[in-house]
Structure 1
Amino acid sequence: MDFFGELYLRSTLPFLSESVTAREADYLARVFADVPGPEPVADLGCGHGRHAARLQASGPLAGRVIGLERDALSLAMRRPGFPVVRGDLRALPFREGSLSGAYAWYSTLFAFTDEEHVRILREVARALRRGGLLVFHTVPHERLAASPGAAFQRTLPDGAVLEEASRFDVATGRDEGRRTLTLRDGRVLSASYAIRYYPLAELTALLESTGFSISWVHGGLDGEPLTRLSADLIVGAVLRDA
């Protein structure tokens, strides 16, 4: 089973409250407020469109958001009001220089191999206009290194039981785990995952090698500086002139 399919959607939806989504969308609206136009801004791995629908409806990105998603169920359940294409991050279905910006949330860009991460960032660089803005969210390497092991079991509001165990390898920067969701009808969804978390210095080098320059690094949705205690790592990077 593909981890980023029905399992991921059904196990994460209960934790994505409207208040959480509103705060994240407000952050994105602020950082994209001055993005050049009129080209669209892509939500890379838009899922069911919780950010895209809000940003498309009002604010500085109103009418300019386009979603990209691979999972068919997420597309079937997406919120209305914004255009979306089905596609893969490693081969973006966008023309060269056709986007003013792009964003990706919850480590979406880094659920592949290191070689594929280079390919993904080069694809984003190809699709962006010069000076275009890439914004992405992940978790600080240091936070995972401080607590490398995690395991939990929880009953979700719909009665499904969610179980997960993971282990972060500090040397490789990969968090590997397995998630199992037992639905009320007895059906079991289970899959393994591996997500790469880069130290900031490595992330900076990766971005620079693929044509980007970091404009800012935030440790949270209020734009606060990144510290050893930060729960979030949010990066804004601009595509350099050739």
Structure 2
Amino acid sequence: MSFFGELYLRSTLPFLSEETTAKEVAYLARRFEALEVPGPVVDLGCGHGRHAARLNARGPLAGRILGLELDALSLQERLPGFPAVRADLRSLPFRTGSLAGAYAWYSTLFVFSDEEHVALLREVARCLRPGGLLVLHTVPYERLASQPEAAFSTRLPDGSLLEERSRFDAVRGRDEATRRLTMPDGRVLSGQYAIRYYPLADLTRLLESTGFSVSWVHGGLEEERPSDTSTDLIVGAGPRLHQTSETVNFRSGSSP
């Protein structure tokens, strides 16, 4: 079965607390507060809309949020209060220069191949207006490299048993995992996923090669500088006026 569907939704929602969501929404509101470009701001991979619903209701992005999600179940169960379209991140259904901004949380943009990541980011750059802003959230490469293997088993509030094993390949920069969810009625959902984590230098080169210029980098929601103990890597980037067609090879997990 597809990992980013019912399995992901049922196994992830219990961990998304009200406090966590409020902090992430406040961070996004602050970072987009100075955005002067008119037009919509897209939540890339909006899921059930925990960020989009709040940002669209109040604050600097009120009335400007548009969700984009491929999973039909997530869209069906999304929170009310914001419009959304069903589409693939790799082929955005927006006109060139029609968006003021975009954001993506929890490594949403990096679940494909390196080649697809290049194409995807070029698509985002194509859609953004001059002066627009892309905010993307991921996990520091170094954090995964320091603990390359992980496993856990826990009971969710509804009684489901969630089990997962993962292994991070530091050379390829890919974290590969298997997740299994046993429901109270005995139904079992299982699937595999892989997420690409780039060292900051490589991520910067990737963004620059796809038409962006990095504006700032944070190591957490308090806008602190990245450090060896950071649990987050959040990057803000804007489209360059003159994009490049440079091709970058990201086969190695570390910067040259």
Question: Which secondary structure state, in structure 1, belongs to the residue aligned with residue 178 of structure 2?
Answer: strand
Aligned partners of 2:107, 2:200: CA distance in 1, in Å?
A: 14
Extract unaligned runs of 5+ from structure 2. 243-256
Number of the residue aligned with 2:181? 181
Aligned partners of 1:213, 1:220: CA distance in 2, in Å?
A: 20
Tell me by how many angstroms 1:131 deviates: 1.9
Aligned partners of 1:16, 1:142: CA distance in 2, in Å?
A: 24
Tell me by how many angstroms 1:36 deviates: 2.2
Aligned partners of 1:20, 1:196: CA distance in 2, in Å?
A: 23
Number of the residue aligned with 2:132? 132
Tell me by how many angstroms 1:117 deviates: 0.2
Question: Which secondary structure state, in structure 2, belongs to the residue aligned with residue 50 of structure 1?
Answer: coil
- Alignment root-mean-square deviation, CA: 0.6
Number of the residue aligned with 2:246? none
Establish whether residue 7 from structure 1 lines up as the match of residue 35 from structure 2: no
Tell me by how many angstroms 1:130 deviates: 1.4
Q: Is the 8 A contact 1:131 1:241 kept in 2?
A: no
Cα-to-partner distance string for 1:46-102 (whole Å, 9 max, x where unaligned): 000000000000000000000000001100100001010000000011111110000
Q: Could you tell me the TM-score, scaled by structure 2's length?
A: 0.94
Number of the residue aligned with 1:85? 85
Number of the residue aligned with 2:210? 210
Amino acid corresponding to residue 125 of structure 1 in structure 2: A
1:65-80 → structure 2 map (5 Å cutoff)? 65-80=65-80
Number of the residue aligned with 2:196? 196
Kindly report structure 1 stretches of 4+ aligned residues shifted beyond 2 Å: none
Question: Which secondary structure state, in structure 1, belongs to the residue aligned with residue 158 of structure 2?
Answer: coil
Cα-to-partner distance string for 1:104-159 (whole Å, 9 max, x where unaligned): 00000000000000011001011110121000100000000000000000000000
Question: Which secondary structure state, in structure 2, belongs to the residue aligned with residue 172 of structure 1?
Answer: coil
Extract unaligned runs of 5+ from structure 1. none
Aligned partners of 1:69, 1:35: CA distance in 2, in Å?
A: 24
Cα-to-partner distance string for 1:171-219 (whole Å, 9 max, x where unaligned): 0000001000011111111001110000011101100000101111100
Q: Could you tell me the TM-score, scaled by structure 1's length?
A: 0.99
Number of residues paired by the alignment? Answer: 242
